[in-house]
Amino acid sequence: MSVLRRIAVLGIVSVAALNAQLGLAQGVPGASYRPAQPTFSPWLNLYQRNSGPLDNYHTFVRPEMQLRATLRQQRTMLQDQGEGLRELSGQVSAVQQSRAPAHPTGAGSVFMDYEHYYDFTGSANRPRSAIQRPTSRASTRGF
């Protein structure tokens, strides 16, 4: 009987684990519903009790409608700008891929290269007696 009981418990646990994974697959954990438009009309603020100098339309309704129109216009402008940037980045990558690597031209150079004037390599091959050294050094320092 204990074997049947273990099999039953194992079956229940596996079904529960399977259902838990299916439950999480219904939506992303932590995500919430965000509607595309505000769910409340700005006209609901028309019936507020306000003791200001302006009526409720000019205090609440009209500014909120202007704000929504401005936000809608900015959203479309940002979307257009994003599309333009994506198009430009595609063009730049196409140009970079089509460009051939630059080949070096001319001869290389080195700053203050005097090897063609003086024979630096020849003096090391000559014997020491052949190297002429001045016998006296005139002091040019004026201390």
Q: How far apart are CA 97 and CA 48, in angstroms?
A: 62
Q: Would residue 55 count as lying in a domain? A: yes
Q: Would residue 124 count as lying in a domain? A: no
Q: How far apart are CA 54 and CA 67, in angstroms?
A: 18
- Domain of residue 83: give its range: 42-96
Number of domains forming the structure of the chain:
1
Q: How far apart are CA 74 and CA 79, in angstroms?
A: 9
Q: Would residue 121 count as lying in a domain? A: no
For the chain (length 143 residues), average pLDDT per consecutive 10? 78 73 58 76 85 86 94 96 95 83 68 74 56 55 52
pTM: 0.44
- Give the CB-side neighbour count of residue 127, counting CA atoms within 13 A: 2
Q: Would residue 58 count as lying in a domain? A: yes
Q: Would residue 129 count as lying in a domain? A: no
- Which pLDDT belongs to residue 32? 75
- Which pLDDT belongs to residue 135? 58
